[in-house]
Every structure is written in structure tokens, then in C-alpha cells.
Amino acid sequence: MSSVKDVVRRAALNRRAALTEEERAQKSDAAIRHLLQTRIFHTAETIALYLPLKTELAVDSLLKVAANPARRFVAPRTLPDNRLSFHGGTESPGAHD
């Protein structure tokens, strides 16, 4: 039997997968606009982002609108022992697609 967390997660993933490209783009833009209005974002020196897969919201435009030499963006990588390692870079996500 699935836990409540599994059921909620599956439902959220199904709702996200059902979004059209246009809806996903609108939600991505709205999430970025919201983030850009937060104090914590403006005071952060390092910001961890994910590299979106399949149906996840796109965050790559954040790198363009929030470019600042005093701010560093990093992305996680899962190591074989399930620890996270964070890596910075200068290329936009998807540059190697």
C-alpha cells in the first residue's frame, strides 16, 4: 500500500505532466517573477538551481534575468553514495542538448 506522501507526489506529478507547453511556460515565468520579488533572492550570493527534466518548470531564463557578477548559480549532482555535490558553471542549462 502506498503512503500518503506517495499518493500526493504521484498526483502532483500527474498534474504537472498534464500541462501544455504554453501552461508550463506561463507557470515557469510566474515562478521566476515571484522569486525575483523575494528579499532572500536579492541577498543570496549562491543560488542552487535544478536542471529541468521533462515536465519540470524551466528555470534557465532566471540565469539571464538575474545575471550579477556577485551572484553564483550552482546545480546539484547526485553522487554514487546519494550525497549531493553542487557545481557552478557559466553555460545556460541545456547548452549541450
Question: Is residue 26 domain-resident?
Answer: yes
Establish if 58 belongs to a structural domain: yes
Check whether 95 has a pLDDT greater than 50. no
N-term to C-term CA, the chain: 39
- Is pTM, for the whole model, over 0.85? no
Amino acid at 25: A
* Domain interval for residue 24: 4-88
Query: How far is residue 75's CA from residue 52's CA, in Å, rounded to a whole number?
Result: 10
**In-domain check, residue 83:** yes
* 47: in domain: yes
The CATH number of the domain holding residue 77 is 3.40.50.10420
What is the spatial distance between Cα 16 and Cα 41, in angstroms, rounded to a whole number?
A: 25
Q: Mind listing the pLDDT tens digit for each residue in 35-73?
A: 999 999 989 999 999 888 889 999 888 888 877 888 889
Task: Say if strands 46-48 and 84-88 run parallel, antiparallel, or are unpaired.
Answer: unpaired
Inside any domain, residue 81:
yes
Residue 97 falls inside a structural domain: no
Cell of 12: 502532483
pLDDT of residue 88: 86
Residue 30 lies in a domain: yes
pLDDT at 64: 83
